[in-house]
Structure 1
Amino acid sequence: MNKSKPNYKRIYSEILQEKHPEKIEKCERILNKAELTSIDVIRLNKIIFNIQEDTKVNRRHSFYDKNAVFEILKYQKKNQCTNTALSKHFHLSRNTITKWKRLFSI
């Protein structure tokens, strides 16, 4: 069974052209990447739909691929964040971060 990923570039480009043309310039750098990561999709959502940092978003069914997990954990090392600070920044559970660290031995 071949599962293909959605073409996020096309989806977000169409949303921007049809509904939010004033935000194209802000999203251009992300959309010009060769391939979008899960983190890029989250950033695009924040820019396009004005999702605020303090807004409680239901992340129960969110999915992060390995690259996104590594990017989040790399962010923690680079910025010397605690699990609590990282969980607040990315709206994740502290237990999820601990689990990722244990799984990926970081």
Structure 2
Amino acid sequence: MIKIVDYKRIFFDILDKKHPEKKEICQELLSKKNLSVLDIIELNKKIFGVPDADTAAFNQGHRAYTRSSILQILDYQKKYRLNNSQVARHFKTSRHTIRKWKNRYLI
């Protein structure tokens, strides 16, 4: 049985205990029924701010994307007519990863 992390509960606890002043700006994302990987990344930025270079590099190596979030990223690329390099820069991943996702999920 696969256990899914309840990110909403985690973020509510963080906001209640450590950052109650940021509850208002996070309310829109936390009101969603299901949080996507991209929503979780956005909430993390809103609560903790932009990480320094070392933290960002460490976190990037530990990101995992679901099929739905990959398709969401590829839809973003199509909607804004971006090339692989531009999408990779925006979502902080490699252009090779974007190419691999396109080959795997769009063909």
Note the 1:2-81 alignment, pairs <5 A. Answer: 2-51=1-50, 55=53, 57-58=56-57, 59-81=60-82
Q: Does 1:100 align with 2:88?
A: no
Root-mean-square deviation over aligned CA pairs? 1.6
SS of the equivalent of 1:3 reads coil
Q: Does 1:90 align with 2:91?
A: yes
Q: Between the two proteins, what is the percent identity of the paired residues?
A: 41
Q: Moved runs in structure 1, 4+ residues, more than 2 A? A: none
Question: C-alpha separation between the residues in 1 aligned to 2:50 and 2:70?
Answer: 21
**Partner amino acid for 2:68?**
N
Scaled by the length of structure 1, what TM-score is found? 0.91
Which sections of structure 2, spanning at least 5 residues, go unmatched?
A: none
Count of aligned pairs between the two proteins:
104
Question: C-alpha separation between the residues in 1 aligned to 2:61 and 2:23?
Answer: 30
**Partner amino acid for 2:69?**
A
Higher normalized helix content (fraction of residues) = 2
**Partner amino acid for 1:75?**
Y
Query: Displacement, 1:43?
Result: 0.5
Which sections of structure 1, spanning at least 5 residues, go unmatched?
A: none
Change (3 A) 1:69 1:93: same
Change (3 A) 1:36 1:99: same
Scaled by the length of structure 2, what TM-score is found? 0.90
Change (3 A) 1:86 1:55: farther
Question: C-alpha separation between the residues in 2 aligned to 1:75 and 1:26?
Answer: 23
Query: Displacement, 1:60?
Result: 2.0
Query: Displacement, 1:37?
Result: 0.8
